[in-house]
Structure 1
Amino acid sequence: MQAYANALLIGIPFFLVLILIEAIADWKTGKKRLNAFDTISSLSSGITNVIKDSLGLIFIIVSYPFLLKHLAIFELSSSVAVYLIAFIAIDFAGYCSHRLAHSVNYFWNGHLVHHSSEEFNLPCALRQSISEFFSIFSLFLIPAAIVGVPHEVIIVIAPIQLFMQFWYHTQYIGKLGWLEYIIITPSQHRVHHAINPIYLDKNLGQIFSVWDRLFGTFQEELDEVKPVYGITRPVKTWNPIRINFLHLILLAKDAWRTNSYWDKLRIWFMPVGWRPSDVENNYPVYKIEDEYHFAKYVTRATRGMKIWVWVQFFATVAFLFHMLMNFGDLGSSNLLIYGAVIFAGIYSFTSLMDESRWAALWEAIRSGAGITLILITGDWFGLSASIPYGQYAILLFFITSIIGSIYFALNLSRNRSASTPGIPTA
């Protein structure tokens, strides 16, 4: 996990620079393809995923080393050709895994967050899951294991292949000519994120577009069909932690409510969106029927509140970098505590973005825990070693966070009846 943390220290600044470039382009052109709260939600989702993955908080059903040991026919050594084979194998595995996520109810829960934004931009690429409790990805790497691709090669190539999926989440790049026949492009991925019926569940490839063309899931972006982004059952929240579990909660409720024991079991493995007939009739769930006329999710925010939330977000980024830079020194217990504090902060300020009545309480709990930790240990995860008296700055931040959250929560409460979240789109 230390290697992954080191890779993130390189990757995250690169992503942020590209997002800044897109934001400047958005401002210059006035196209408004990014908005503050959606962007913060996306970036915060990325942070939660980084923490979860760097801490290894997932149960791997079958590990790649196990498959390699028992299935390998050849014993390959590292070479350019082997790295290329590994890249192709990982990309094929990614296609298979991605298709499964779009096909089966349970697995959709772990992927829904990536599609939850009603915009399409670079930040939404960072909407990644924290709700995958176990991983079967290695099963799709069986071809690589059979030919004997070394585990250390897979470890190197996997994050590279993942990071290469970032750039095509944009509306600022058009079709790319002959490259459209080889790789996944922004045009193809716009189709993938769209809820238009003709585009739904298409273009599941990650790097190479050949898999979609081979297996019948390719769809070209059509000039006459403008992509509309999001999911057909909108999440109606900026809180990435809540988004990660909305579908799972719906499945659990449906399994509990249905009178059919067979439906209680099979709901988890049925096609995405399937619900027992008795539950669907008695407990309807809103679904977009006309993608060109529906209420996008918006919430009220003063300029001061937007600035406040951005400050909270950048403080969270600072916490994340401090955690990653000291990953090898903190120890598993401290890493879990640090990660929990960051999670709680994200839950708090995105709840405020949602106009939640409980936002101030969540912040009081998070900051109260942070203050207690500093008072007990006299430090903030070793910060004073690199920044003298840095723990006191963190202490002041937590105190200010409590006061600020209470202020903005009360302000929202006073003006709650002034407007209604959600405005119709043209």
Structure 2
Amino acid sequence: MQKQVMRSLDSVSSISSGMTNVVKDVLGLTISIFTYEWMVGHLAIFEIKSTWLVYLITFMVVDFKGYWTHRWEHKINILWNRHVIHHSSEEFNLACGLRQTVSTVFDYFTFLLLPAAIVGVPVEVIAVVAPIHLFLQFWYHTRLIGKMGWLEDIIVTPSHHRVHHAVNKVYMDKNLGQIFIFWDKIFGTFQEELNDEPCIYGITRPARTWNPIKINFQHFFLLVKDAYHTKSWKDKLRIWFMPTGWRPPDVMEKFPVEQMGDLGHYQKYDTPSSLSFRIWAWIQLMFNYLLLIYLFAFIMEIGTPGVFIYGALVVVAVYAFTELMDRNPNAIYMELFKSLSVLAFIFIQGDWFGANTYLGSWFTFIVGMYQVLTVVVVWGFVNGELKGHFKLFPSKLGGI
């Protein structure tokens, strides 16, 4: 019997999350409190050359930093908001590996690279190692690979990472390593995948939405609301730094939030959809992916502030079509707002961010006509198969 490792709308949501994260990273919207370049320039004791051994040691330092960053994100309330999106899928597959944060404005953890900076590891080495290290964390998001023999003692395998994404009590906050599993064994956070304990995926306060923008900020908004509602000034301050999931007692009683409860009977989030609706969701995703490719190809030519306007329009598009997937009754208005914004920009500028020059007017024409098509198709779904079946987005926002 074949395993079902993906659901269509869940995968669209996951890939959409990856798109928004890429937009944020490419536009440089994350601010490092201390940059590695600054630390090397001010703190390096030695000056070393970029040999293969330096690259290897740097890889280990970056992985050590990754372990502790990951561990703190799981253990501290405010830091969980940086990471919750990655755990929000109730499936475990390669697509869920693309769920990455857009809520990180500040990077607090560059200081963990201090040992590399002190011994003078060049900036170029970090610049090469960091993206390779990130890329190597993608492959193990799968249920299709079993245990891998002796490699289970050295690297993070799919089995280890299935445990990490599971909400079963025995698995919670385990296997926090990114490439090497021995950090977990050294620091006491290792847990083997058990044959008699199937992994249940997601977050214990379910997201209940396909919208990656909402998921990115659900936990933060819950913290804000709890800090506002609690009568204790002490709790207003400490809620941000308490263990992940902690809420003031008076708020827990007055404003309960949805919990997974009995994992054996938990129903995954789903919204009924026809084949045509699912195909439309993929078309929306792929067209916006095409727009993203154009941005990357001509980002220098587009320049500022154009790239920020472009990125905002892509994020609004993702927000609009994932709201339709959620059956939000306002989805048609969000789609209309997005399409009118794009058409207004094309009308004012005369083309789509220089496309007439770089590719030809045909690309601008396609972008414009697609905006008209999206409004017509979404209106058709709202007044067709989805009529009378919309449900409001749950008002109780969840966290872990």
TM over 0.5: yes
Name the residue aligned to 2:216: 244
For residue 373 of structure 2, what is the amino acid of its counterpart? T
Mapped pair 1:146 → 2:118 = yes
Per the TM alignment, residue 332 of structure 1 is displaced from its structure 2 partner at its CA by: 2.3
Name the residue aligned to 1:89: 61
Structure 1 residues not aligned, in runs of 5+: 1-28, 422-426
Per-residue CA shift, 1:77-99, capped at 9, x if unaligned?
21111111111111110001000
Q: Alignment partner of 1:97: what SS?
A: helix
- Give the Cα–Cα distance (whole angstroms) in 2 for the partners of residues 253 and 409 of structure 1: 32
For residue 122 of structure 1, what is the amino acid of its counterpart? L
Per-residue CA shift, 1:20-43, capped at 9, x if unaligned?
xxxxxxxxx642210100000000
- Give the Cα–Cα distance (whole angstroms) in 1 for the partners of residues 337 and 390 of structure 2: 27
By percentage of residues, which structure has more helix? Answer: 1
Name the residue aligned to 2:153: 181
- Give the Cα–Cα distance (whole angstroms) in 2 for the partners of residues 290 and 400 of structure 1: 44
Per the TM alignment, residue 412 of structure 1 is displaced from its structure 2 partner at its CA by: 5.2
1:209-220 correspondence runs (5 A): 209-220=181-192
TM-score normalised by length of structure 2: 0.95
- Give the Cα–Cα distance (whole angstroms) in 1 for the partners of residues 259 and 114 of structure 2: 38
Q: Is the 8 A contact 2:351 2:361 kept in 1?
A: no
Name the residue aligned to 1:119: 91
Name the residue aligned to 2:397: none
Structure 2 residues not aligned, in runs of 5+: 395-400
Bigger mean CA offset, 77-86 vs 63-72:
63-72
For residue 80 of structure 1, what is the amino acid of its counterpart? W
For residue 360 of structure 1, the aligned residue among 329, 332, 344 is 332
For residue 20 of structure 2, the aligned residue among 33, 45, 48 is 48
Q: Is the 8 A contact 2:328 2:390 kept in 1?
A: no
Q: Is the 8 A contact 2:50 2:122 kept in 1?
A: yes
- Give the Cα–Cα distance (whole angstroms) in 2 for the partners of residues 240 and 225 of structure 1: 29
Per the TM alignment, residue 72 of structure 1 is displaced from its structure 2 partner at its CA by: 1.7
Mapped pair 1:315 → 2:300 = no
Per the TM alignment, residue 244 of structure 1 is displaced from its structure 2 partner at its CA by: 0.2
For residue 273 of structure 2, what is the amino acid of its counterpart? A
Per the TM alignment, residue 137 of structure 1 is displaced from its structure 2 partner at its CA by: 2.2
Name the residue aligned to 1:424: none
**How many residues were matched structurally?**
391
- Give the Cα–Cα distance (whole angstroms) in 2 for the partners of residues 416 and 252 of structure 1: 32
Q: Is the 8 A contact 1:355 1:412 kept in 2?
A: no
Bigger mean CA offset, 334-343 vs 323-332:
323-332
Per the TM alignment, residue 411 of structure 1 is displaced from its structure 2 partner at its CA by: 2.8
Per the TM alignment, residue 151 of structure 1 is displaced from its structure 2 partner at its CA by: 1.0
For residue 164 of structure 2, what is the amino acid of its counterpart? H
For residue 416 of structure 1, the aligned residue among 389, 394, 398 is 389
Deviation above 4 Å: which 4+ runs of structure 1? none
Q: Is the 8 A contact 2:141 2:162 kept in 1?
A: yes
Per the TM alignment, residue 413 of structure 1 is displaced from its structure 2 partner at its CA by: 5.0
1:269-284 correspondence runs (5 A): 269-284=241-256
- Give the Cα–Cα distance (whole angstroms) in 1 for the partners of residues 384 and 34 of structure 2: 51
Q: Is the 8 A contact 2:327 2:390 kept in 1?
A: no
Note the aligned Cα RMSD (angstroms): 1.4
Q: Alignment partner of 1:206: what SS?
A: coil
Q: Alignment partner of 1:45: what SS?
A: helix
Name the residue aligned to 1:65: 37
Between the aligned residues of both structures, percent identity stands at: 49
For residue 247 of structure 1, what is the amino acid of its counterpart? H
For residue 32 of structure 1, what is the amino acid of its counterpart? Q
- Give the Cα–Cα distance (whole angstroms) in 2 for the partners of residues 347 and 231 of structure 1: 21
Name the residue aligned to 1:369: 341
- Give the Cα–Cα distance (whole angstroms) in 2 for the partners of residues 116 and 74 of structure 1: 44
TM-score normalised by length of structure 1: 0.90
Q: Alignment partner of 1:416: what SS?
A: coil
Per the TM alignment, residue 70 of structure 1 is displaced from its structure 2 partner at its CA by: 2.7
Name the residue aligned to 1:80: 52
Q: Alignment partner of 2:34: what SS?
A: coil
Bigger mean CA offset, 139-148 vs 205-214:
139-148
